[in-house]
Amino acid sequence: MKGQTNRSILTPALQKKLRTHMTDAETRLWQRLRARQNAGFKFRRQHPFLDYVLDFVCLERRLIVEVDGGQHQDCEADRARDRRLQEAGFFIMRFWNNQVLQETDAVVEAIWTALQEESGEDASLMTPSPPRPSP
């Protein structure tokens, strides 16, 4: 996705700062997504695209994973961002911080399932509620 990023994001190296100061939830999820652990799919963290820095993205499957705190609840800016990313052909999954921290396996399973979907399907917005892990 080279050449599709707003220079204002790249100039101050915002994504590098975000990688250095990830939330606990982002750190936990990154430990499970990094190094092609999910069926060999490569994820990037804090990846710049258009006017945004994406929390996690698998460019091969055009899958974006966002990990959100309470400030994102009912956020119109997030909806507009998601629409713009969808128009660029991405599939977006959003998880709350507490979901990632308390139900890590279920979140990773939901991401793995999305990776397995046919790559030819249209991108769509998905706000998953991951299934509860089995006891």
Q: Got the DSSP string for 44-84?
A: EEEEEEBTEEEEEEETTTTEEEEEE-GGGTT-HHHHHHHHH
Residue 119 above 60 pLDDT? no
Lowest mean pLDDT among 45-59, 63-77, 87-101: 63-77
Phi-psi region of 28 (alpha: psi -120 to 50; beta: other; left: phi over 0): alpha
pLDDT digit string (tens) for 33-64? 988 877 789 999 988 888 888 999 999 999 99
Residue 67 above 60 pLDDT? yes
Q: Tokens in use for 27?
A: 């750190």
CATH for the 7-126 domain, from 3.30.230.10, 2.40.160.20, 3.40.960.10, 3.40.50.20: 3.40.960.10
pLDDT at 48: 85
Q: How far apart are CA 85 and CA 105, in angstroms?
A: 26
127 vs 37, higher pLDDT: 37
Residue 93 above 90 pLDDT? yes
Chain-centre distance for alpha carbon 90: 10
